Amino acid sequence: MSLFITSLNSGSNGNCYYIGNEREAVLIDAGISCRGTERRMNRIGLSISAVKAIFISHEHADHITGIPGISKKHQIPVYFTESTFQSSKVPIEDHLLNYFKGGQTITIGSLAIKAFTKFHDACDPQSFMVTGNQVNIGIFTDIGSVCQPLIEHFQQCHAAFLESNYCEDMLANGSYPIYLKKRISGKFGHLSNFQALELFVKYKPPHLSHLILAHLSKNNNDPLLVEKLFGEKAGSTKISVASRYQETEVYKIEYTPVILPRKAVPLKQLSLF
C-alpha cells in the first residue's frame, strides 16, 4: 500500500517527476535529456524500463525537451492534450502518441492519472493527480493562481509536488524587466512562496505525509528560505525542496485513510495567519 516518488529535475531548466509502484511507473513531463533522465534514475536505483507512459502538462520547453529522445529510445507512449501536442511541435512516432482531455482519468497498469486544468500561460495546461495502491500524489507546478480544483485535489493527496517559484521581495527588487515580473506574478504565471504556503497552511490534509516544493526560480528564490518558511508550518508533514540540478531521494509514500473536509472554503474568503 505505497507508491515511490522522486523529482528527477525541477525548475525552468527542466522538469521531470517519477511516480511508480513496485512494477510500473509514469513520468510527469520530460524536460531533461534522455541521458540526464537515465543517469538520475540509475543513481537512485530506478529503472526506466518500469516507465510505461509519460504525461505532459504543457508545451513550455522545460517540460518537453526530452520527449523525442526518451520516447524513441525506450518506446514509451506519451500523453498530451491535443492542443498541447500541436503547440509543442515535438517529433514523436505515431504509435507512441496519445491524447487526453482535461478532467479525464487515464489508467496505466494499476496507476490512474487524473488531469485537470490549471491557470498558466500555455494553450491547455494541466495538473495531475496520480493514484495507485490507494495513494494519491499531486503534481502541481506552473500555476499562476490557486483555483478550486487545485484545492480539492490537494486535499486528497498523501504527497504533492507543489510549485513555490519565487519570493515576492526578490522578484520585486530583482533585475528582471517589468513585463517579465508581471508575467511571473500574474494570474497565468507561477505560484509565489506565499501563495504556495497559503495553500499548504489552509488546506493541508491530515494524510499529507510529504510536501516537495518544486520549480523554484534560480534568480528569484532561495531553497533555504523555502525550506524554512514551510518547515515552520509543517506539522507532521515532511518538507523537501526539489533541486534544479539533481534528483531528490526516492520517497516511499504510504497509504493512510483520506479524510476530506465537509466543504472546502473558497481561498478568497480566508486570510492567512
CA dihedral 105, 250, 234, 153 (to 10 degrees): 0
Please identify, using beta-carbon distances, which residue of 60 and 204 lies nearer to Zn ion: 60
Q: Which amino acid is at 82?
A: E
Cα 198 to Cα 24, 133, 229, 241, 271: the distances in Å are: 34, 29, 11, 17, 9
Binding mask of the shown chain, residues 3 to 42, with x at each position contacting Zn ion by CB under 5 A: ----------------------------------------
Interface with Zn ion includes 59 (CB under 5 A)? Answer: no
Query: Does residue 163 interact with Zn ion by CB under 5 A?
Result: no
- Nearest approach, Cβ of residue 3 and Zn ion (Å): 23
Question: 266: which residues sit within 8 A by CB, 6+ positions away?
Answer: 148
142 is a site residue for Zn ion (CB under 5 A): yes
Minimal CB distance to Zn ion: which residue? 60
- Strand partners for 133: none
Under a CB-based contact definition with an 8 Å cutoff, are residues 87 and 59 in contact?
A: yes
CB within 8 Å of 217: residues ≥ 6 apart: 11, 12, 165, 166, 170, 171, 184, 190
**Nearest C-alpha neighbor of 214 from the set 162, 154, 251:** 162
Q: Is the dihedral of CA 79, 56, 75, 253 positive or negative?
A: negative
Nearest to 114 by CA among 101, 128, 134: 128
Shortest approach of Zn ion to residue 184 CB, angstroms? 10
Mark residues 61-100: x for contact with Zn ion by CB under 5 A, - for none.
-x--------------------------------------
Q: Identify which range of 44-52, 56-64, 93-101, 226-234 contacts Zn ion by CB under 5 A.
A: 56-64
* Residue 124 near Zn ion by CB under 5 A: no
CB of 85 to Zn ion, least distance (A): 16
H helices of the chain, in order, are 34-43, 61-64, 67-74, 82-88, 148-154, 168-173, 178-185, 193-203, 223-231
118 binds Zn ion (CB under 5 A): no
* Among the listed residues 17, 18, 25, 60, the single contact to Zn ion using CB under 5 A: 60
Decide whether 38 or 59 has the Cβ nearer to Zn ion: 59
What is the nearest approach in angstroms of Zn ion to the Cβ of residue 161?
12
- Taking the complex as a whole, the smallest distance from the CB of residue 28 to Zn ion amounts, in Å, to 12
Q: Least distance to Zn ion from the beta carbon of 209, Å? A: 25
Give contact residues for Zn ion (rule: CB under 5 A): 60, 62, 142
